[in-house]
Amino acid sequence: MEKIDQQILALLSGDGRMSYTDIGKATGLSTSAAQQRVRRLEQRGVILGYTARLNPVALGRTLTAFVEVTPLDPGQPDDIPDRLAPIEEVVSCYSIAGDANYLLKVQVGTPLDLEHLLLRLRTTGNVTTHTTLVLSVPYEERPFPG
């Protein structure tokens, strides 16, 4: 990947709403050249899309946890992500290597909400859980270094 494309990715990963003009100024490209480069990165699947980052605390989801899930019956079909997809408190689901099959990132309002969520995960998913609470987030979704 060209250095200029790496610079563009670094800029957009820090501010997905950056204008083509500002990208051009930061990289030494014209506005139209910056737009063409971004379009090519989108077409190649390097840039998957643009999204708003929401503040979970402002939405009343003050507690974040990571929950490892393992099927109660290892012989059952591996459809855990499909069974848990309707549960809105599950914000991410990762297939992982190790003792557990999946790692879920969940966000809820209170410890009692987490307790209820864990019960729903266990019954809906037919899984065991292991939970780790997040105390603080020094950083996440760091921008591409360029």
Q: For residue range 58-85, what is the model confidence (pLDDT) as tens digits?
A: 999 999 999 999 999 988 889 999 999 9
What integer pLDDT is reported at residue 36 of this predicted model? Answer: 97
Strands 102-108, 63-71: pairing is antiparallel
What integer pLDDT is reported at residue 142 of this predicted model? Answer: 83
DSSP codes joined into one string, 55-101: -TTTTT--EEEEEEEEESSTTS-S-HHHHHTT-TTEEEEEE-SSSSS
d(CA 134, CA 113): 15
Question: Above 90 in pLDDT, residue 1?
Answer: no
Q: How confident is the model at residue 143 (pLDDT cuts 50, 70, 90)?
A: confident
Q: How confident is the model at residue 88 (pLDDT cuts 50, 70, 90)?
A: very high
Query: What are 89-142's pLDDT values in tens digits?
Result: 999 999 999 999 999 999 999 999 999 999 999 999 999 999 999 999 999 888
Give the global pTM: 0.81
Q: How confident is the model at residue 52 (pLDDT cuts 50, 70, 90)?
A: confident
Are 72 and 126 in contact by the 8 Å Cβ rule? The answer is yes
Please choose, from the candidates 15, 133, 138, the residue with its C-alpha nearest in 3D space to the C-alpha of residue 63. Answer: 133
β-partners of residue 94 are 103
**Domains, the chain:** 3-44 (1.10.10.10), 56-134 (3.30.70.920)
Question: Above 80 in pLDDT, residue 21?
Answer: yes
d(CA 80, CA 64): 21
Q: Which two tokens stand for residue 75?
A: 């012989």
